[in-house]
Amino acid sequence: QLQLQESGPGLVKPSETLSLTCTVSGGSISSSSHYWGWIRQPPGKGLEWIGHIYYSGTPYYNPSLKSRVTMSVDTSKNQFSLKLSSVTAADTAVYYCARSSSGGDYFDYWGQGTLVTVSS
């Protein structure tokens, strides 16, 4: 059974960079044709797609976040990562990592989510 687990600091200061890692177990991040993505959810609000990446291909980012987002894959550790720069309080959210279909059009496996709070 595929499992995903987010990890990273739960508190980030304004203007700094948020960094999260998703560790995949129960399957190889590079052995299939799936994409790997990030979605966030501000407290009490809806879901927002951040982006997703193929292990060896071009990432796709939300246009509204594109200037601040970087995603990467580490196949040796079976992990993929998210960096979001110049954060503000508006970036406070639960961040989920998820596996996307081979076409990238839906997320079928999700991590449990991790709350990241932006505050000084």
**Interacting residue ranges for another protein, rule: CB under 8 A:** 39, 46-49, 60-64, 66, 96, 101, 103-108, 110-113
Beta carbon nearer to another protein, 43 or 88: 43
Pairing, β 35-41 against β 48-54: antiparallel
Shortest spacing between CB 84 and another protein, in angstroms: 16
Shortest spacing between CB 76 and another protein, in angstroms: 26
Shortest spacing between CB 116 and another protein, in angstroms: 15
Beta carbon nearer to another protein, 76 or 106: 106
Find, among 115, 50, 61, 118, the residue nearest to 90 by Cα. 118
Reduced to 3 states (helix: H, G, I; strand: E, B; else coil), residue 79 is strand
CA distance 52 to 66: 12
CA distance 7 to 44: 22
Beta carbon nearer to another protein, 10 or 46: 46
